[in-house]
A and B are shown apart, each in its own frame.
Chain A
Amino acid sequence: MSEEELRIGVYVCHCGGNISDYVDVKKVVEAIKGEPGVVVAKDVMFACSDSSQNEIINDVKEHNLNRVVVASCSPKLHELTFRETVKRAGLNPYLYYHANIREHVSWAHTDTREGATEKAIRHVRAAIAYVRNAKPLEPIRQKTMHAVLVIGGGIAGLRAALDLSRTGLNVYLVERSPFLGGRTPQLYRVYPDGRRGADIVKDLVSELIRRDNVAIYTNAEIKSFSGYIGNFEVEVEIKPRYIKVPYDEIKEKIKELPDEIPDEFNYGLTKRKVIYYPYEGAFPRIPVLDLDHCSDVETIKELLGDAVDLEQKPETVKLKVGAVIVATGFDPYEPKEGEFGYGRQGVVTLPQLHRLMDLGNGELKLNGREIRDVAFVYCVGSRQKKSSEEEEVNEYCSRYCCNAAMYISSLLMEQGIRTYHIFRDIRTYGRHERMYDEVSRKGGIFIKYNEDEPPEIEEEGDKLLLKVKDLLTAGEQLEIPVDLVVLVTGMVPRKTPELDELLRISRGRDRFYVEVHPKLRPVETAIGGIFIAGACQAPRDICETLSSASAAASKAATVTLRDVIELEPFKAEVDPNICDLSKKCIEICPYEAIEIKNYEGIGEKAWVNKAKCMGCGACVAVCPTEAIQLNGLTNEQIRAMIEAAGKEVII
């Protein structure tokens, strides 16, 4: 297209005042009015509002515009909005450029209106240069797989898998540990309805295993991962259990084995055997042989005969899915030795308290001794202060712990146990305030400590002595003898470095997975087609986890219920006439997207597999002949933009 035919519309946004408070928007419009090709140049109050979008559409039609520039906020917010607008006006959506004069200009230069205005003019000029060199592009249309991979078999993964399977989609559920359920079965009873954690899981699992479009892999891990939204290829490795028969068949024989290993399910409070089945109702019902901890294989073979098969090898299954839900969950914070007395007899964590109560069928005993007084120390492993940049601490609040501690306190108090609550802020938000109220009314004693003067726990006879300065009673130093100290520990994200690397999804400063937008896109990652659910994204309770799992399932369904998906056309492309087959692009491509292909009449040259290309541009930078270019951001466009931005500005 030659210069004369270009008809460009430019819209400079006030963004209410977000931009116009610091940038003279009218001057920007004046300054770019004369740029070659500009037919319409306007300032608008909110370019994104429906009326402004309609104005753009009308202008395109009335003035036969064939290129559009909007200068407003970050393209992350509104580039897609205006591409749609331009499309509605009948133009190719890629003949549009979004100049960011808010985050890059007005918000960054609140100190100089003149300077900000000048910079905005440069941005808009560069945008005009871009569209002058823009060519129509077509999105790449790909068929999608009607299947979803769910990683993690806790309640988040179970809920998401169940929801998706109900719509008829195929679901593959992969759980790393040998049994489904995650952390929930370890909970004795949970708020608000007092249900047993194991029962919550059992209900979900029993619904899920009835369905014929769900495949469940336990003791399994993701080994390889490639592809893109709509078409992911995954390899799952299933590790051997070495046991072939259900638990009930060998239950009595297993009992003959010695207790050897601290039982993870009971947080080390008890020991388990090398063949184990963690709790009644666990799925699958087939126990697992923990070969890593097994010292005497022969005895086991002798004892179990055909029920054990040590020849089992890991199996690999290959899956094709359209979307992925990551629901890898959390671990309870493990206090350091000595932290709030941890390690002393009688000091346990909140998850351990759940196990103690479950093991005692609701009655609380420690080493056979009756418990009369319990002190809960809150915010252990949460709201920590950073003393240096390098130190890895949990600055966040773990959200569920106040509620959970309050609920279990009320259960204890029903048994006549006195409870003390050593807290910083009681965060029983929403309706959970009722639980706090109930514990207060029943006589729970609340003591507020200062984070700089944490409570100390000492042994005194066969009791523990908790020393704390109480802010609620004018800073009085209190000494409280108790039988049990419960450290109300927070959540830390489950560490899965290999998985993060394979999926290329990132974690935030708090080490939880980071969502693409914390307010409006809380279950989406930066990688299209990969979604996050439950406590791997942020601490949350069971109810909130289930909601976020369904929300992630919803997003996965929007991808996989469709037959075709459109991908952005910003992919590298080789001009085989210029390519001298230096192979530099093939070496540098991090996605293995470039191959050698025989072009008819030209011979062997580089070729880009557009489905694999992520549009990073690494190949463009190394190509010695500029044969490889990025569609939507060619070298020609970049040069034109630099030149336009560098031009002198006279205000």
Chain B
Amino acid sequence: MSVKSWYERKYYGEIEDLPEEEYDVLVIGGGIAGIQAALDLGDMGFKVVLVEKEPSIGGFMYKLSKTFPTMDCASCIATPRMAQVFHHPMIDLLIYSEVEEIEKKGEGDFRVKVLEKPRFVDSSRCTGCGQCELACPVIVPHEYDWGLAGRKAVYIPFDTAVPRIAVVDLDHCIYCGQCERACPTEPPSIDFTQVPKIHHLKVGAIIIATGFHLFDARLKENYHFGEYPNVIHAMHMDRLLAPTRPYHAILRPSDGKEPNNIAYILCVGSRDKTVNNPNCSQICCMYSIKQAQLIMGALPLADVTIYYIDIRAFGKAFEEFYQQAKDMGIMLVKGRVAKIEQKENGDLIVWYEDIENGGKLCKAEHDLVVLSVGLLPNKEIANVFKGQKLEVDDVGWIKPVDENANPVETSIRGVFAAGTALGPKDIPDSVIEGGAAAMQCAAYLSEVRGRH
């Protein structure tokens, strides 16, 4: 829910203003880049506040099944980091909170307003037992599973959420009070009297790690996403393949059948001027190859075909991973898919130019089509700076002030950026930039405070 809409909901009562708190560094975004930055700074001895807008930290990574090219299970490697940052003595967290306004008073002096949204659950009492979830009669699509499964109007964000505390989704709540009655704590942790709070922070430096959002595949009308049920996007597939997968099986949406001939279409919403994104999204080739390999394991009889323009396996051990996929029998077709048609039984006909085999116009039948959607910037953060301009590029990614000297420094001195806030990138590169931004913060603070 946007910050603005909280103000429109006056009926939650007055917004509570909290007294000013001081920190060395504000990290905006609790994904893997922000977590890394906070941990490094905390370990160096700086006092850090980490702001996360969702009800749990973790960002995008915890939703993934496994990660390329090592096939590490994503939640297995992300969860300890989440716990570490949560328990770090030098790091405070403001969860379910959004940065509203940042004003630079001088070097090493930023004043920040953060709006903490009410969870309507008392975090000091809630044990995360899930009784409220069981009692709640409202079912809505779960964001965590990209809508493949449902959640209640009161819910624990996901199994390994940090903190593992329930949150009430007021947009869908019918105020029946069943959660409150089911809550075993005394008094109940459900608390509808909570009001939004404004935290006033005085910080020395800022790291922006606000990540990305997925391209809305509906905008590529020729692929009929949202219209043909068996056209899904790749993050749906990642959930279907995850150890915490919703159905414990890979099923196609139209009839619940196990697919046995799956197509991947790469560069959906990337390298595509018709949707105003001429950039390559940098990770889609690899996550598609990863998923294809996982499908080979989960559905040994299924065929997987990847329709691509170029396979961009450029990172460490990526090319080897790509060659391994070819050896496993994953089919690769150079050609951008032009259109998809749906048959009566829900199967799909994919039209494409088979470039490497004479450039003929061909069609192929598949029972599930996965769109490898690209990454787009979260633009809101550029609007919170008062009196200063945070430079972004023509797509909206934060633009480093001098890429070939200090790639994580933004146009505002003392404000650094890391991870996918700067452009599409994979996990290791995000972690590296998290560390790099932490280093730049430490150097900047040491200098402006005259330690050296």
Extra pairs beyond A429-B280, A561-B45 (18, CB < 8 Å): A15-B73, A17-B243, A17-B245, A18-B243, A46-B75, A49-B164, A50-B161, A51-B164, A88-B87, A168-B451, A200-B404, A428-B280, A432-B280, A474-B359, A510-B316, A519-B67, A547-B436, A561-B442
CA A81 to CA B447, docked complex, whole Å = 35
A544 contacts the other chain (CB 8 A): yes
Q: Are A48 and B76 in contact (CB under 8 A)?
A: yes
Candidates B316, B400, B428, B442; contact of A557 at CB < 8 Å: B442
Stretch of A190-198, A220-228, A642-650 at the chain-chain interface:
A190-198
Assess the B312–A427 pair: CB atoms within 8 A. yes
A548: CB under 8 A from chain B? yes
**B75-122 contacts to A (CB < 8 Å):** 75-84, 86-87
| 7 interchain residue pairs of minimum CB distance | A551-B435, A16-B243, A550-B436, A166-B443, A554-B439, A168-B452, A558-B43
Per the bound structure, the CA–CA distance linking A555 and B423 in Å amounts to 23
**Interchain CB contact (< 8 A) of B403 among A77, A168, A193, A429:** A193
In the complex, the answer to whether B404 meets A167 with C-beta atoms within 8 Å is no
Interface residues of B in 385-401 (CB under 8 A from A): 393, 397, 400
Residue in B closest to A537 when the chains form the complex, CB atoms: B316
Interface stretch, picked from A364-372, A391-399, A601-609, A617-625, is A391-399
- Give CA–CA (A455, B312) in the complex, Å: 21
Minimum CB–CB distance for B300 against chain A, Å: 12
Cβ of B443 and Cβ of A167 under 8 Å apart? yes
Inter-subunit contact B128/A51 (CB<8 Å):
yes
B304-319 contacts to A (CB < 8 Å) = 310-319
A interface with B by C-beta (< 8 Å): 15-18, 45-46, 48-51, 53-54, 73, 77-78, 80-81, 84, 88, 163, 165-168, 190, 192-193, 195, 200, 203-204, 213, 382-383, 395-397, 399, 402, 425-434, 437, 448, 471-475, 508-510, 512, 517-523, 537-539, 542-544, 546-555, 557-558, 561-562
Alpha-carbon distance A51/B320, docked complex (angstroms):
38
Among A17, A45, A552, A558: residue with most chain B CB under 10 A: A558
> Which of B72, B161, B407 has most A Cβ within 10 Å?
B407
Q: Which residue of B lies closest to A80 (CB)?
A: B80
Closest B residue to A512 by beta carbon equals B316
Give the complex CA separation of A399 and B281 in angstroms.
15
Q: How would residues 313 to 340 of chain B score, 1 for a CB under 8 Å from any chain A CB and 0 otherwise?
A: 1111111100100000000001000000
What is the bound-complex CA distance between A15 and B243, given in angstroms? 8
When C-beta atoms are compared, the residue in chain B nearest to A402 turns out to be B314
Whether A522 lies near B432 (C-beta < 8 A) is yes
Cβ-neighbour of A193 out of B81, B164, B404 (below 8 A):
B404
Whether the pair B404, A16 counts as a contact (CB closer than 8 A) is: no
Check if B415 is an interface residue, CB within 8 A of chain A: no
- In the complex, the answer to whether B311 meets A425 with C-beta atoms within 8 Å is yes
Q: In the docked arrangement, what's the CA distance between A431 and B394, Å? A: 11
B76 touching A77 by the CB < 8 A rule? yes
A78 to chain B, nearest CB (A): 6
Give the distance to chain B from A555, nearest Cβ to Cβ, in Å: 6
Say whether, besides A48-B80, A192-B403, A547 and B311 are in contact (CB < 8 Å).
Answer: no
B82 contacts which chain A residues (CB < 8 A)?
50
What CA separation (Å) do A508 and B40 show in the bound complex? Answer: 26
The yes or no answer to B70 lying at the interface (CB within 8 A) is yes
Q: Contacts A50-B82, A431-B393; is A520 near B404 (CB within 8 Å)?
A: no
- Whether A433 lies near B271 (C-beta < 8 A) is yes
CB contact list, B161-205 vs A, under 8 A:
161-164
Would you list 14 pairs from A and B whose C-beta atoms are within 8 A, ordered by A residue?
A17-B243, A200-B404, A396-B318, A427-B310, A427-B313, A430-B424, A430-B425, A437-B278, A474-B359, A509-B320, A520-B427, A520-B428, A554-B435, A554-B442
Nearest B residue (CB) for A541: B404
Q: How far is the CA of A203 from the CA of B212 in the complex (A)?
A: 33
Residues of B within 8 A of A (CB): 32, 36, 40, 43-45, 67, 69-70, 72-73, 75-84, 86-87, 127-128, 159-164, 242-245, 248, 271, 278-282, 310-320, 323, 334, 355-356, 358-359, 393, 397, 400, 402-408, 423-425, 427-429, 431-440, 442-444, 446-447, 451-452
Does the CB pair A396–B317 fall under 8 Å?
yes
Q: Which residues of B contact A213 (CB under 8 A)?
A: 452
Closest approach, in angstroms, between the C-beta of B442 and any C-beta of chain A?
5
Chain A residues within 8 Å of B280, by CB: 428-433
Distance A474 CA – B164 CA, assembled complex (angstroms): 57
Contact indicator B447/A166 (Cβ below 8 Å): yes
Chain B proximity of A389: nearest CB distance (Å): 15
A residues less than 8 Å from B43 (CB atoms):
558, 562
Assess whether A543 is in contact with B403, with CB atoms less than 8 Å apart.
Answer: yes
A431 in contact with B279 (CB, 8 Å): yes
Q: How far is the CA of A433 from the CA of B432 in the complex (A)?
A: 22
A50–B58 Cα distance when bound, in Å, is 13
A497–B402 CA distance with the chains assembled, in angstroms: 35
Known: A396-B317, A430-B423, A510-B317. A547 touches B433 (CB 8 A): yes
Chain A proximity of B332: nearest CB distance (Å): 10
Q: How far is the CB of A325 from chain B (nearest CB, A)?
A: 11
Measured in the bound complex, the distance between the Cα atoms of B393 and A500 in whole Å is 42
Q: A644: shortest Cβ distance to chain B, in Å? A: 27
A396 touching B316 by the CB < 8 A rule?
yes
On whether the beta carbons of B317 and A546 are closer than 8 Å, the reply is no
Contact of B425 with A81 in the complex, beta carbons under 8 Å: no
Contacts of A46 in B (CB 8 A): 75, 79, 159-160
Contacts of A510 in B (CB 8 A): 316-317, 320
- Min CB gap A563→B, angstroms: 10
CB pair B40–A429 under 8 Å, yes or no, is no
**A163 vs chain B, min Cβ distance (A):** 5
Residues of B within 8 A of A558 (CB): 40, 43-44
| Whole-angstrom CA separation of A517 from B438 in the bound complex | 19
Residues of B within 8 A of A432 (CB): 280
Bound state CA distance, A551 and B36, in angstroms? 10
Please tell me which one of the listed residues A203, A434, A519 contacts residue B428 in the complex, with CB atoms under 8 A apart.
Answer: A519
CB-based nearest B residue for A400: B314
Closest Cβ–Cβ distance, residue B83 to chain A (whole Å): 5
Q: How far is the CB of B55 from chain A (nearest CB, A)?
A: 13
* 8 Å CB contact of A551 from B83, B282, B310, B436: B436
B315 & A538 in contact (Cβ 8 Å cutoff)? yes
